[in-house]
Amino acid sequence: MGNTVLVPIDGSPLSYRALRHALETYSDAEITALHVADLYDPGYGRDADSLYEPLAGSEEWYAMEEEVANEILSEAETIASEYEREIDTDSEIGDPERIIPEFARDQDVDHIVMGVHGREDEERTLFGRVAESVVYRAPVSVTIIR
């Protein structure tokens, strides 16, 4: 299928499920796991301690976010190693609804695979706002995993 596949990773169970799907389905593709720290919704997709949100945008927040991004992307690399694969990883800070489609366009991505939402409740069936926006804005096909 595609030569390059982008998998947005936010630390939620569905984002890791999307990565597994991409690794299984696109066995010959170069896969990039992208973590976007949402400055406007800190803690989205993972448990955040009570101090995380009020710090948004501060130096402390950036340091904490870098640590969180490293943990999330390290987990993505561990999952890839279970499939005897290596993946590229990247992280950005900003609005994931804008950054994910821009990244796909700028990096000549052929396909995006992402979870239907970043909440902890995997059984929720509604699209999350980020997934819905990416489907609408993406320059390539998007596979949504539930």
Higher pLDDT, 59 or 39: 59
Token representation of residue 57? 């945008």
Tens digits of per-residue pLDDT, 24-34?
A: 999 999 999 99
Average pLDDT, the chain: 85
Q: Residues in the chain, how many?
A: 146
Identity of residue 71: E
In the predicted model, is pLDDT for residue 1 greater than 90? Answer: no
Triad 9, 100, 2: Cα angle to 5°: 85
What top-level class would CATH report for the domain 4-145? alpha beta
Using DSSP's 3-state secondary structure scheme, residue 7 falls into strand
Token representation of residue 16? 């890791």
pTM comes to 0.85
pLDDT the model gives residue 38: 83
pLDDT the model gives residue 45: 45
| Residue 112 · residue 99 · CB < 8 Å | no
Token representation of residue 144? 């949504």
Query: Which of 109, 112, 145, 104 is closest to 128 using CA atoms?
Result: 145
In the predicted model, is pLDDT for residue 87 greater than 70? Answer: yes
Kindly list the distances between the CA atom of residue 143 and the CA atoms of 25, 54, 69, 95, 112, in Å, as whole numbers in the listed order.
11, 34, 23, 20, 6
108 torsion bin: left (phi>0), alpha (psi -120 to 50), beta (else): left
